[in-house]
Amino acid sequence: MEEENKNEKYSLLNSFKLLKRILAHINASPGQFTNLYLIVLIIAIIQLPAPFLFKSIIDNVLPTSNESLLIIIIAALVSIEIVKSIFTIISTYLLSTISQKLATNLRKKLFRHYLEIPYQYYLETPTGKMVNRMVSDTNSVADFIQHILWVVPLPIVMVSIGSTVLMVWNWQMGLYIMISIPLTMIVTKRLSKKLKAIRIRYRDAQEALQGKTNESIENIRVIRAFHREPEMDQELGHEIDIFKQIGIDHHLNSSLLRSSNRIIEIATSYLFIIFGAYLTITKQITLGEFFAFKYFQEMIAPNLNQLFNYLTELPNQTVSIERVFEILDMKIEPGRDKKSEPIKITGKIEFKNTQLTYPDKTVALENINLKINPGEIVAVIGPSGSGKTSLASLLLGFYPISGGEILIDDKHLSDYNIRDYRKKIGVIFQDAQLFDTSIRENLSVSNPDNIDDELIWKALDIANASDFVKETENGLGTIIGNKGIKLSGGQRQRLTIARVFLKNPKILIMDEATSALDSISEKEIQNQIQQLTKDRTTIIIAHRLSTISIADRIVVMEEGRIKEIGTHQELLDNDSLYKQLYASQMDGFLKWESNDK
C-alpha cells in the first residue's frame, strides 16, 4: 500500500517534470506552446458571456417580447460557438503537430539507442517487449503530451475562471457547486489505485502475448516440422485468454470510475436544481439567474469530472513513460563515445589472462592467454559450451571483459572507438544473417559509402556466387526474404563471404561459418574461404575439423579454458583432447562411409 501511494504521489507531483523531460525530445518552438495556452485562455473566456446572455433572455427578452434583443443575443451565442469551434480546430492542429513530432522523435531516438546499448540487453530481453516500447509505449507518451498540454490546463482554467465569476456574483451558489469536488476526489483516489495495478498487469500480459507471437512466427519451420501446431495454438490461446481477462478487468474498473464520477456529477446537478429552485421561489435570485447559475454548473462540473478522470489515468501513463526512459537512460555500449581517430591496424591480437563472467555469475572464459600474429590463421575448437563463441564475442567487443586484457596491435581494445574498430573486422556468422531486402543492399552493408555494382560483381565472382545471382529474376535487385529464406544455405553463405570481401577487413572471424552446410557445399566453399583469409588475421571457430585444415595453429578449448595449442600434427602426436575429438569425428565419418557402401 505504501509503495502504491508512493507511485501515485510520484506520478501526480512529477508529471510536469516528466513533461519537461519529454519536451526535450521535441524541436518545437516556444511560440507553439504560447499559442496553445493562449487558445486555452480564449476558449475559457469566450464562454463566460453565455450564462449572462441566457439570463438576459429569461429576465429581459421573454417578459417584454423584445424580438430585436433576442436576435442579438442568439447571434452572440452562435458567434461564441463558432469562435470556440475555430480555436478548438486550431488547438487540435497544434496538439497533433506537437504530439506526432514527439512520437516520431522519440521512436527515432529509442531505436537509435537500441542500436547503441550493450549487446547483452538483446540476450536478456524478449523481442516483443522491445517492439512494445517502440510502438505502444511511445504512443502512450504522445497521449500524455496531448493530455498534459490540453486536457489538464483547459479544465483548470475553465473551473478557475468560472468559479471565480460565480463566487463574485453569488457566493452561495458558487460554494454549492464546489461541494462535489471532495467527494469526487475520494472516489477517484480509491479506484485509481486498483486501476493502476490492473494497468501494469495489462502491460505485462500484452508484452507476453507479443513475445509468444513473435517467437512462434520466427520458429514456424520448427513448429511445422515437429507438428507442434496444436500445442502452440494452446499456448498462445492461453496468453490471449489472460490478456482478455485483464482487459475486461481494466475496462470494467475504468467504466466503474467514470460512472461513479458521472453519478456524483448528476446527483450534485439535481441537488443544485433543488437549491436553485428554492432560491428562485423565495425571490433570492431571479429565474434568469437560476438558469445562468445552472449554465455555470454545467460548465464547471464536467470539466472537474474530466480532470479527475485524467488524473486517474495519469499514473498509468507514467508507467509507459518510465518504460521508455528506462531504455533511454541505459548507458550506451562502452567505447562508442571515445574520441574517433583514424585506425590502422595490422591484425596483431593478444589475450592476457582474459576472463568473462556473465551477470548471472556464469564463468564463460577464464585465464585466456593467446597471441595471434598479423596474417596468421588460428582455429578455435572444442566441445559445445567450451567458450569458443564467447571468445569471438569478446574480440568483437560485444561484452566487457571481467578481468585481464585484450590487446589489438599492443593497444587495449577498450582504448579504441568501438565503431571504428569494428570497421576493421569482418565476420561470417553461423546462420548467415541477411536482411529482407535486395542482394545489392545486403552486400552494401559492409561498406555502404564506397561500393558500386562493379565492386559487388567482383566480390560475387571471388565468392563463386555470381552465377546464381545472374540466374535470379532481378539480379542484384532480387529480394531474398527474411534471413535470406529464398536462397539455399550455400547461396546464403556465399553472399556473406562476398560481403566480407567488400569490407576488406584486417581481422576475420568465422564463427561456425560452414556448420549449416552439407559436406559437398562445404567443400565448394573452402576455396572461397582460402582466398578470403589471405593477408588477414583469421580466427576460425568450428566444430567440424574439416573446416580448419588451412589453420596455422589450433587452439583447443574446454570449459572456458585453453587446454592446448599447436599445429594439427603436433596435437595428434600427443595424447591430447584434440586427438580425441579428431578420432571421434573420423570414426563417425568412416562408419558413415562403410554404411553408404
Who has greater pLDDT, 147 or 280?
A: 280
Who has greater pLDDT, 257 or 518?
A: 257
**Residue 336: how many CB atoms within 10 A of its CB?**
16
CATH code at 367-424+542-597:
3.40.50.300
Model confidence at 450, pLDDT cuts 50, 70, 90, reads low
Long-range contacts of 179-183, Cβ-Cβ distance < 8 Å, separation of 24 or more: 179/268, 180/264, 180/265, 180/268, 180/301, 180/304, 181/304, 183/264
Residue 594 has pLDDT above 70, yes or no: no
Dihedrals φ, ψ of 66, to 5°? -85, 95
- 219 burial via Cβ count (<10 Å: 0-12, 13-18, 19+): middle
Residue 42 has pLDDT above 90, yes or no: no
Place of cell 577464464: 366
The letter for the amino acid at 433 is Q
Mean per-residue pLDDT over the chain, rounded: 79
Q: Could you give the percent of the chain with pLDDT greater than 90?
A: 9
Model confidence at 332, pLDDT cuts 50, 70, 90, reads confident
Q: Could you give the percent of the chain with pLDDT greater than 70?
A: 84
> Is beta strand 507-511 parallel, antiparallel or unpaired with respect to 425-428?
parallel
Residue 145 has pLDDT above 60, yes or no: yes
Distance CA 320, CA 303 (A): 25
Model confidence at 406, pLDDT cuts 50, 70, 90, reads very high
Query: How confident is the model over 404-433, as a mean pLDDT?
Result: 87
- Residue 190 has what pLDDT? 65
Query: How confident is the model over 225-254, as a mean pLDDT?
Result: 81
* Element housing 140 (H / E): helix 138-146
Quick one: three-class SS letters along 467-507? Answer: HHHHHCCCHHHCECCHHHCCCCHHHHHHHHHHHHHHHCCCE
Place of cell 471532495: 182
Give 17-328's CATH code, choosing from 3.10.129.10, 3.40.50.300, 1.20.1560.10, 3.40.920.10.
1.20.1560.10
Long-range contacts of 545-550, Cβ-Cβ distance < 8 Å, separation of 24 or more: 545/381, 545/581, 545/582, 545/585, 546/519, 546/522, 547/379, 547/510, 547/513, 547/514, 547/522, 548/379, 548/381, 550/377, 550/526
DSSP letter string, 186-218: HHHHHHHHHHHHHHHHHHHHHHHHHHHHHHHHH
Query: What is the grid cell recorded at 497?
Result: 563471404
Model confidence at 494, pLDDT cuts 50, 70, 90, reads confident
Model confidence at 5, pLDDT cuts 50, 70, 90, reads very low
- Residue 3 has what pLDDT? 41
Distance CA 531, CA 527 (A): 6
In the chain, what is the straight-line distance between the N-terminal and C-terminal CA atoms, in Å?
75
Query: What is the grid cell recorded at 355?
Result: 576472463
- pLDDT of 188-207, one tens digit each? 666 666 666 777 787 778 77
Question: What are the structural domain ranges in the chain?
Answer: 17-328, 367-424+542-597
- Residue 366 has what pLDDT? 92
Distance CA 49, CA 40 (A): 16
Query: How confident is the model over 122-148, as a mean pLDDT?
Result: 79
Query: What is the grid cell recorded at 218?
Result: 520466427
Listed range (250-254, 403-407, 441-445, 512-516) with the worst mean pLDDT: 512-516
Residue 36 has pLDDT above 60, yes or no: yes
